[in-house]
Amino acid sequence: NAGVMQNPRHLVRRRGQEARLRCSPMKGHSHVYWYRQLPEEGLKFMVYLQKENIIDESGMPKERFSAEFPKEGPSILRIQQVVRGDSAAYFCASSPPSSFGVGYTFGSGTRLTVV
Amino acid sequence: GNSVTQMEGPVTLSEEAFLTINCTYTATGYPSLFWYVQYPGEGLQLLLKATKADDKGSNKGFEATYRKETTSFHLEKGSVQVSDSAVYFCALGPSNSNSGYALNFGKGTSLLVTP
């Protein structure tokens, strides 16, 4: 039973390029959460998605960032026109339905470096 | 809003020493509380959790008790090992369905255990 799978593990992009981060939730999990970890800081919530729906995007920057979780395939976090300040570790977590307050399972993260 | 404050690190201990990492929270309602651990280069793993006041979460020799009167959830271990070296995050779950869906994380406490 594979856990939450994220790829790539490491991603290097030049300023102005696009970054696509993928997350496949655990089997049976239909809820996906994206978090960002900046150096020397804790994790900050970005967005919560269910299949084909964005439920809470209150932590997403207003520009350049978008997320989706299609009916088929992984969840994608997309960052357009990346800047140096986007360099961070991006973690995806998943949970089953009705898991309110239970806790999530995290992936190993994608470490984005913008040069 | 809900928030978590945990002691700053780094914490350096000798093997077999007693560990306490303080965590206090601010919340309305009755949120669940969690401790996550992050080993170098990896994602977060759920260490333990407590879902209501006076609950004690425990795992791998670590313990934390949900103290509503002091709004605390301090992490303790009686005898640490070198393999416990990691970053530990205290997290607060949503109080109810109107509190959003995100986990609120503390900034993390780095623990280094020396032989």
Q: What is the pLDDT of residue A99?
A: 61
**Where are the extended beta strands (E) located within A1-115?**
5-7, 10-13, 19-24, 31-37, 43-50, 53-56, 65-68, 75-79, 88-95, 105-106, 110-114
Strand partners, A39: none
Question: Would an 8 Å CB–CB cutoff place B97 in contact with chain A?
Answer: yes
Residue contacts between A and B (CB atoms, under 8 Å): 64
Subunit contact A48:B108, Cβ cutoff 8 A? no
* Span B10-37, average pLDDT: 93
The predicted pLDDT at position B96 comes to: 65
For residue B97, the chain A residues in CB contact (below 8 A) are 100
Mean pLDDT of all residues in A85-110 = 84
B70 in contact with chain A, both atoms CB, cutoff 8 A: no
Name, in order, each residue with C-beta under 8 angstroms of A72's C-beta and a sequence gap of 6 or more. none
Q: For the residues B8-12, what does the mean pLDDT come to?
A: 91
Q: Which of B103, B104, B107, B109 to mutate to probe the A interface, most A CBs <10 Å?
A: B103
pLDDT score at B28: 82
* Residues 13-32 in B contacting A (C-alpha not used; CB under 8 Å): 31-32
Among A53-57, B40-44, B73-77, the range scoring the smallest mean pLDDT is B40-44
Handedness of CA B30, B26, B4, A84 (dihedral sign): positive
Confidence band, pLDDT 50/70/90 cuts, at residue B14: very high
Q: Mean pLDDT, chain B, as a whole number?
A: 91
Percent of chain B with pLDDT over 90: 70
What is the distance between the alpha carbons of residues A21 and B2, in angstroms, rounded to a whole number? 29
3-state secondary structure of B37: strand
pLDDT per residue as tens digits for the range A8-65: 999 999 999 999 999 999 988 889 999 999 877 778 999 999 989 999 998 999 999 9
Give the model's pLDDT for residue A40.
73
